[in-house]
Structure 1
């Protein structure tokens, strides 16, 4: 992959880093948050299908090697709704 390209944990599509949402397991607190922080990261496409598959198959949790709180999925769902409203 070219530099600054990432791969979606759900659909495995690769693309520029800016086209994905970043989910981070922060070091050393082991908390999971969106977009910011230093630690283990996973990327997901901003699409409802990718979010649904990731949630059902625990793809974010496996990529981050920790349990992803339900609030993270709710925040991502809210982002999808806000993005759809912009269009």
Structure 2
């Protein structure tokens, strides 16, 4: 994969990293947050299907090797509703 490109955790689509949401398990606190921080990262397409699949199959939790709080999924749902 070329530098600056990432893969969606859910649908496996490859694209520029700015096309995806970044979810980070911050080092060393192991907290999971959106967009910024240094640590283990996972990327998701900003679509309902990818978000639903990631939540249903616990793809984020497995990729980040940490429990993902439900409020994080609620924040991503809010982002989906806010985009035109």
CA displacement at 1:2 relative to structure 2: 1.0
1:32 and 2:46 equivalent? no
Q: Secondary structure at the match of 2:3?
A: coil
Q: For the residues of structure 2 that align with 1:13 and 1:63, how far apart are their CA atoms?
A: 16
TM-score (norm 1): 0.95
Q: Is 2:27 aligned against 1:17?
A: no
Q: State the aligned residue count.
A: 84
In the alignment, what sits opposite 1:58? 58
Which residue of structure 2 lines up, in the alignment, with residue 48 of structure 1?
A: 48
Q: Which sections of structure 2, spanning at least 5 residues, go unmatched?
A: none
Which contiguous aligned blocks of 4+ residues in structure 1 show a shift greater than 4 angstroms? none
Tell me how far 1:52 sits from its aligned partner. 0.2
Match of 1:74 in 2: 74
Query: TM-score, length-normalised on structure 2?
Result: 0.98
Give the 3-state SS of the residue equivalent to 1:23 in structure 2. strand
Structure showing the higher helix proportion among its residues: 1
Over the aligned positions, Cα root-mean-square deviation in angstroms equals: 0.5
